[in-house]
Structure 1
Amino acid sequence: MTISRRHFIKQAAAASVFMALGVPVCKANAADNTIDSWVKGVCRYCGTGCGVMVGVSNGKVVTVKGDPNNHNQGILCLKGALLAPVIYAKERVTKPLIRKNGTLVEASWDEALDLAASKFKEALDSTGPDSVAYYGSGQALTEETYLASKIFKAGLKSNNVEGNPRLCMASAVGGYVSTFGKDEPMGSYQDLDAATCFFIIGSNTSECHPVLFRRIAARKQNDKNVKIIVCDPRRTNTSRIADLHMNMKPGSDLAILNSMAYVIVHEELDDYRFHNKYVNFMTNDKQKVDFEAYKAFLQDYKPEDVEPLCGVPAAQIREAALTFAQSTATTSLWCMGINQRIRGVWANNLIHNLHLITGKIGKPGSTPLSLTGQPNACGGVRDTGGLSHLLPAGRVIAKKEHRNQLEMQWGLPQDSLNPKPGLHTMALFNAMNEGKVKTLLTLCTNPAQSLPNIKKYEEGLKKAFLVSIEAFSDAISMQYADVVFPPAFWVERRGVYGCTERRYALVEKAIDPPGECRPSVNILVELAKRIGVDPNLIPYENSDDVWEEWRKVSAMTPYNFAGITRERLIKESGILWPCPTEDHPGTTIRYVRGEDPNIPEDYPDKYHFYGKPDGRAIVWMRPQKAAAEPAGGEFPFTLTTGRVIDHWHTATMTGKVPEIARSFPHAYVEVNTKDASRMGINHGDKVKVITRRGDMLFDARVGDVCEPGLVFVPWFDPELVVNELTIDAIDPGSKQPEFKICACRVEKA
């Protein structure tokens, strides 16, 4: 029988509580005899990439259940299980819109396409390729991002191609590339089932990646010897199952990680045979040194010396280091708490360091595994080259050899691609403020809510001609759009998502889109042709055509998706790259001979970090670096932001589900009990949070989740846009903003 949504929401809420005990989150709830067909797909939300089965009845999606053949084994979180209502939200854009007299009004496809194309041509003719730009999303299909990047970089000669993964995953990319030479994790979710130690830092996994957290909790429940270390400035649900919670001060992550390395080396728990053979030690200014120099660098990070800075007792730092190093198999997990820092790349490097000096890498259960925020930030934006400095399949614009490879594959004259990297996200929106970027095409993203210090960039959003491919009319960015194209949403078209573990899986078409909605691939092709892009460069009828080209483009690189055909994706529930042939099973461990197809069978050594010229990974000597805006003086508190388990990103989707919307109708501010008592704040009081960029009123949640001096606000609320208060300082390497830390003042309203 089919259960009511009211009953389902109660079951799901209870499941979130019991996740810590390894209890499944959500199972299917609709009786199969009420469904005409089940269509395979991938969840629309986070980077976990859960497989789903979409139940269709009378041409409509009526329910969603987990795919038992995918990595999630039929399990879904609350958000994924309640995806169906999002499709039928009254806010769906179903016809093209253009702005007339300040208001968006319905238009024909020809009128909207011609207007958008004319503005792009006008900008190109008057000021050249640098005046046009594309801003995409880790939620777009792989085919969509590959196509958009090709249109702009090859067709319009503009490298101003960016996406919102710059805000969430750029530092992880920088960390992988600078340490190993190539992006993306070397391990997979299978490591979660073999690890005997989990080191979780800068990630509230229980709320942001609940299905993976259930898997971690189940591992601990099944083996009482498994240890969990959580390093986080908040006491989240994740920390509740930790054997050790290091309640660090915000911004002290680099010092803690170096201190753990000090303990490991000082106690002679490093794997000398491994790092002597497979690792180079490098100073911050890229000077190659020996292991003794690294040991000398770590002398400044003795736990007793680090304790006053980070607020973590020296004994806890030692315990964490010993547990990490003495465990049979250690998996590290991290997310935005590490990436959204002005030294996020360095923090990523230091996590990798712990694995490299202990040799806990490339073995079942031993891997550094960064968690991804969006369903296709990896398989779309990162892999296909959807950022301003990248080209597809790990190539970079700055390298002539890489440009020439793409020119050959795309049928372009040699040296015709623009050799100058484009503008990164924050520079792009600043260039819009300055009137240098005159037209912007956005796809499946809501920058007017997700950018940091957003008020600073409103002028540019108003000044530039903004063309949006957007499914929901209430996204804040729609207030600035001049042309809106209605896309087919989620299972209304076919395409690929690539999740955290390098798993590529197909989202099948289950239903027809409403109204005049079209697949974004077709929108992009038609718009490009009207702007003047050579039709021979974009000869695609649908996403299948784009996928076939993408496979060929990747085939001559270590990414190599050549064996991931549409036919295999239809039959299988995801395949991990590299996958060079159609009979290859996919790769769960990279950089290890016998596991990674990029390493010849006769290679003399077990490990080969082939992204580096000498095949060695790098242990970086990265010093502690404070936040751009530490608390103090007039602003004595630290403001941090993040997600809650029910909502996702800017709530343009989760806000359409009544049960979810009621559970978290608005953002709030978490205040520590001691701070609240001192300021006379009670639970539910109105509290003003003030930063150097503005102020905002929130309801107070008083408790012990945050340490004294720290406040937390979730960022989903379109009415209380906390990103008006956050800072836009960036990591100089990754160009990712420091959302996680800014100074604030807290006052009772």
Structure 2
Amino acid sequence: MSEFTKTLCPYCGVGCGLEVSPPAQANKATNRDSKGNPIWRVRGDKAHPSSQGMVCVKGATIAESLDKNRLHYPMVRNSLDQEFRRVSWDEVFGIISDRIQNVRATQGPEAICMYGSGQFQTEDYYIAQKLMKGCLGSNNFDANSRLCMSSAVAGYIQSFGADGPPCCYEDLELTDCAFLIGTNTAECHPIIFNRLEKYHRKNRKVKMIVVDPRRTPTAEAADLHLAIRPGTDIDLLNGIAHLLMRWNLIDTGFIDDCTSNFSAYAEVIRHYPPDVVACQCGISVADLETAARYWGESKHVLSLWSMGVNQSSEGTAKVRTIINLHLMTGQIGQPGAGPFSLTGQPNAMGGREAGGLSHLLPGYRLLKNPQHRAEVEELWGLPPGQISPHPGLSVWEMIMALENDNVGVLWIAATNPAVSMPDLERTKQALLRSPFTIYQDAYYPTETAAYAHVLLPAAQWGEKTGIMTNSERRVTLCQAFREPPREAKADWEIFAEVGRRLGFVNEFAFKNSAQVYAEFTQLTRGRPCDMTGISHEQLRTQGPTQWPHPAPSTQHSKRLYTDLRFPTTDGRARFGAYYSKGLAEPPDPNYPFVLTTGRLYGHWHTQTRTGRIEKIRTMHPEPFIEIHPRDAAKLGISDHQMVEVRSRRGKAKFPTKVTKAIAPGTVFVPMHWGTLWADDAEANALTHPESCPDSLQPELKACAVQLIPIGIETPTKNYQLQSSQL
């Protein structure tokens, strides 16, 4: 029997398989961290089909964060100016259930809000939906996937009739043309990019196009880099479509037989001739024509995108405009082709399956659909009409509800909104108004903990067994390899116990996560994401699989829509006709630069884990701002000089990185640094909350800023967190 436990990396949506084993010779100092904790050994799982044994620096060092600054016990305080006191689980469950009951009776269920995370396992997500939307009658469950992939969800639903990326990772090595837009895949999804880059190098006829205002490591590998101005994605995509139409490089048979609304789309793209598009995007006509030639003359085109497309006030329109190119050229349902959104978090896909956004229900159902509500009520044994027909609050709507004193309970789990939300100062002020905030996390301190009345210690990666689904719809069993430290509990266990305390004993009579997952899969029967043929035991013995995987079949589907039929009312995919509206906040003379934000290779989100790993902290020791030399010269800014960045909402300070890798007029800041890790370096102190009207995803990728040189100063200090006493 192997000493290694098979699990999954808990960082990005690639879903890399890992094998973890106990520390060898744990008595030796070399196998312990600076606090004396034994370090578990981690290696890539060569049998996992998604990652094939590869692992990036985050996955390789993940075990080093297991025992750093953990929250070990439930803690409570009456007000934010008091110190926390340790309490028992019994006491804290009583406090929480009493508060929820009181708020339900006095303010109604709509005053109860929960904000979850793509870090959840599917079982955590599912139990939260059953508790909130089913038993409590509040649809106010949203997740940080709202900031990540909700535009992709909306785009897939509107174009195809259902959510779900139709492609698989095998397509990375079968494509003729890879079109990457709004994704720095090399840094943000490195194992996917490794597969694509190796294939690209070996097959020089294969073309790679990268669309990004920055010359990222991803763009460095491209045959064609289109450094478009922020906010001109739809201009570019419609411009490519215009040329494909002009050159007759379209699949009229597919359009006629398998799609609808093409005439409206054709009318739109008529207004995007090459000279207009090139001028608007800030690229040459020749490069635009090259991109269209690469797409139109390739037999298998694969598009990849992530936050650079989704985090936009036009996010859904951008997604659908990418899909339009596939529809007009018949590039879907075949190997090496299709529109492929790269999920940001390890189980954001599982959250979509479980209904983990405020407008969704489990099994790819919509709250607005009365049949969908009735199906879930029946499966949950609830009376008809128990589930509200009104979508709940998105996370930004929760912030506004806090401002208006309409929230009685705010429950935050496995995410850090005091760093990750837009318009951060406004967010913090709203969090201060919350009369009762529960914060459930594995670590302490975090920035959000400062706004909590109750702290709940959560088990994290490796300490609970459950399911995660990656970007290619591959479902993996993540097996626990150690016990939770001290009194930490799995998220689903915490939600279930609160449900039982509220009187829903039968609804939450689960003995383990396998039983939770078994119930969840029954809600997927007959749905596009049918997983009735999947169980913990099946995954344990047979390994990861992809959905749809219905029972009693033992087969999964690598790709969706191979029969060229779609889950719409008429079986046809729908073109979306969109004119470009540009940025919600374009630059002007007072705020002449466009700020864009993103990740770095080694860090993850708000550093809750990676900030506690010395190798990664050394790799990325401080935040910075990228600026083009031409812009730096105009402002008299030198490399490494400190600048103050101001928007209409806030300000921050960063040392400069003067580089030609970013387009003039655009500046870039990484989003990882909150107040625990640096002074005045919060990217989201600058961003705005304007969002896509369909997906409600904020435009975190672009806002207007001004730069003010403030002289050469000491770089941002290297913070050292003290071990938690909790």
Tell whether the structures are fold-level matches, with TM greater than 0.5: yes
Task: Identify if the C-alpha distance between structure 1 residues 169 and 146 changes in structure 2 by more than 3 Å, giving closer, same or farther.
Answer: same
Map 1:118-197 onto structure 2 (within 5 A): 118-197=98-177
Q: Which one of 691, 702, 717 corresponds to residue 647 of structure 2?
A: 691
Write the distance in 2 (CA, Å) between the matches of 1:103 and 1:729.
36
Deviation at 1:682, TM superposition (A): 1.4
Write the distance in 1 (CA, Å) between the matches of 2:490 and 2:203.
47
* Contact residue 265 and residue 578 of structure 2 kept, 8 A: no
Superposed CA offset, 1:489-529 (max 9, x none): 11111001111111110110101111111122211111222
The residue number in structure 2 matching 1:83 is 62
The residue number in structure 1 matching 2:51 is 72
Deviation at 1:328, TM superposition (A): 2.0
Write the distance in 2 (CA, Å) between the matches of 1:309 and 1:418.
45
Map 1:391-406 onto structure 2 (within 5 A): 391-406=361-376
* Contact residue 497 and residue 508 of structure 2 kept, 8 A: no
* Contact residue 425 and residue 650 of structure 2 kept, 8 A: no
CA-based RMSD of the aligned residues comes to: 1.4
1:56 paired with 2:35, answer no
Task: Identify if the C-alpha distance between structure 1 residues 294 and 84 changes in structure 2 by more than 3 Å, giving closer, same or farther.
Answer: closer
* Contact residue 333 and residue 561 of structure 2 kept, 8 A: yes
1:735 paired with 2:701, answer no
The residue number in structure 1 matching 2:241 is 261
Tell me the amino acid that sits aligned with residue 56 of structure 1: P
Q: Which one of 285, 288, 306 corresponds to residue 277 of structure 2?
A: 306
Deviation at 1:256, TM superposition (A): 0.4
Superposed CA offset, 1:574-624 (max 9, x none): 11100012542311111123xxxxxxxxxxxxx211x21000001111111
* Contact residue 161 and residue 386 of structure 1 kept, 8 A: yes
The residue number in structure 2 matching 1:330 is 301
Tell me the amino acid that sits aligned with residue 621 of structure 2: P
* Contact residue 49 and residue 499 of structure 1 kept, 8 A: yes
What SS class does the counterpart of residue 270 from structure 2 fall into? helix
* Structure 2: runs of 5 or more not aligned: 27-37, 676-680, 711-726
The residue number in structure 1 matching 2:572 is 616
Write the distance in 2 (CA, Å) between the matches of 1:179 and 1:617.
6
- Give me the TM-score of the superposition, normalised by structure 2: 0.93
* Contact residue 642 and residue 715 of structure 1 kept, 8 A: yes
1:477 paired with 2:448, answer yes
The residue number in structure 2 matching 1:47 is 13
The residue number in structure 2 matching 1:705 is 661
1:241 paired with 2:221, answer yes
What SS class does the counterpart of residue 57 from structure 1 fall into? coil
The residue number in structure 2 matching 1:38 is 4
1:452 paired with 2:422, answer yes
Task: Identify if the C-alpha distance between structure 1 residues 443 and 142 changes in structure 2 by more than 3 Å, giving closer, same or farther.
Answer: same
1:521 paired with 2:492, answer yes
Map 1:208-607 onto structure 2 (within 5 A): 208-281=188-261, 291=263, 293-379=264-350, 381-464=351-434, 465-530=436-501, 532-581=502-551, 583-593=553-563, 607=564
Task: Identify if the C-alpha distance between structure 1 residues 113 and 543 changes in structure 2 by more than 3 Å, giving closer, same or farther.
Answer: same
Superposed CA offset, 1:272-324 (max 9, x none): 1111110101xxxxxxxx54x54332121011111221101111111101101
Write the distance in 2 (CA, Å) between the matches of 1:663 and 1:573.
34
* Contact residue 99 and residue 105 of structure 1 kept, 8 A: yes
Moved more, 108-117 or 259-268: 108-117
The residue number in structure 2 matching 1:94 is 72
Write the distance in 2 (CA, Å) between the matches of 1:512 and 1:129.
35
What SS class does the counterpart of residue 656 from structure 2 fall into? strand
* Contact residue 404 and residue 414 of structure 1 kept, 8 A: yes
What SS class does the counterpart of residue 415 from structure 2 fall into? coil
Write the distance in 2 (CA, Å) between the matches of 1:709 and 1:263.
28
Write the distance in 2 (CA, Å) between the matches of 1:477 and 1:116.
18
- Give me the TM-score of the superposition, normalised by structure 1: 0.90
* Contact residue 36 and residue 56 of structure 1 kept, 8 A: no
* Contact residue 632 and residue 658 of structure 2 kept, 8 A: yes
Task: Identify if the C-alpha distance between structure 1 residues 116 and 678 changes in structure 2 by more than 3 Å, giving closer, same or farther.
Answer: same
Counting aligned pairs with the same residue, the percent is: 37
Tell me the amino acid that sits aligned with residue 409 of structure 1: L
Structure 1 stretches of at least 4 aligned residues deviating more than 6 Å after TM superposition: none
The residue number in structure 2 matching 1:717 is 673
How many residue pairs get aligned? The number is 689
Write the distance in 2 (CA, Å) between the matches of 1:448 and 1:125.
29
Tell me the amino acid that sits aligned with residue 660 of structure 1: I
The residue number in structure 1 matching 2:719 is none
Write the distance in 1 (CA, Å) between the matches of 2:633 and 2:543.
52
What SS class does the counterpart of residue 688 from structure 1 fall into? strand
Write the distance in 1 (CA, Å) between the matches of 2:634 and 2:600.
27
